[in-house]
Amino acid sequence: MKILTVVGARPQFIKASMLSKALKSLPEVEEVIVHTGQHYDANMSAIFFKQLNIPEPDYNLGVGSASHGAQTARMLTELETIMLSENPDIVLVYGDTNSTLAAALGASKLHIPVAHVEAGLRSFNKQMPEEINRIITDHLSNWLFCPSLEAVTNLKQEGIKKGVYQTGDIMYDSILHFRPYALQESSIIKHLNLSDKKYILATVHRAENTDDPKRFHSILKALQQLEMKVVLPLHPRTKSKINQFSYTDMIIDSSIQVIEPLNYFDMLTILSQANAVLTDSGGIQKEAYMLRVPCITLREESEWTDTVHSGWNHIAGSDTKQILDTVNAIKVPKEHPPLFGDGKTSQKIAEILIAHFKKSNTI
């Protein structure tokens, strides 16, 4: 069985590392990895692949930044060529990026079955490109691997019932596996002179926040006024917008400690030891829950609604007062339900796919 795995951003590689490891243990499986190059990430260097024991991609398309239409079209064109050449039995995609959408579209038009890891998530905000990507991908997929019961329910409400599996979240596999190594190898806490639970981690990168001067100013103003030290790894988009809107003074001479983007081990370490995290990232909301760190989401909604219902994630939007009030009212919940499975998601997905392959080859 040949599986063509398509990834386009660092978080997808982290997820894929666990499933690739599970697939590699099966002699019946050959995996071909395609990196679209959708997101440039300076931390995705050779050390990144070495730390996570990820095989180098067989193809690197180097697509880079562009408008959504142009980027997706270029990936679709190049992926189609690779699919025709490799003739895979399954195309495997992760999450909700343009790379995911392009791969699912390309595979479906060539009648190649699609497996979607992290299926069924919904923010119910179609202004988000990610929401469109995940909806279309789910409706094109043959296997839908859901991280939670809520994701299964979302699919059922859209009439998708066949091929749906509640496997748990593959990122939980990654955190359980890599956190001990990260805490042992990362020196970020010492380097930044931080104390355990005495700082707040903040990440801001979504266009809805950084491209809107009013929203962005309001968020930065809240970070300025927090009583606890704030550590802000500066995403390239965020940095460019700070310069464009002349907001540099807002992050100078304040309690905000601006740092460069972090590698995976450093990010895992600094997140796990934070008092709380303020973020507009979908992935970090989920990782915060897995690491039992309270999260304040700087958006109007979340695709990880079950973390909100559990009391570990709080929607604060971009209003300065709302953000400050939410941070000040945080109480660590006593309960921490196992929302994302048992850390064996990659093994379950591999077993489901190989079982199908063996069954189809005995008919």
Just list the catalytic residues: 205
Q: What single DSSP character describes residue 251? A: G
How is 309-323 classified by DSSP, letter by letter? HTTSEEE-TT-HHHH
Cβ count near 308 (within 10 Å): 17
Dist. CA 204–CA 232, nearest whole Å: 8
- Structural contact between residues 75 and 98, judged by C-beta atoms closer than 8 angstroms: yes
Using DSSP bridges, classify how beta strands 2-7 and 30-35 pair: parallel, antiparallel or unpaired. Answer: parallel
- CA 84 – CA 110 distance, rounded (Å): 8
d(CA 103, CA 7): 9
Task: List the 114-117 sheet strands across, edge first.
Answer: 59-60, 30-35, 2-7, 90-94, 114-117, 143-146, 164-166
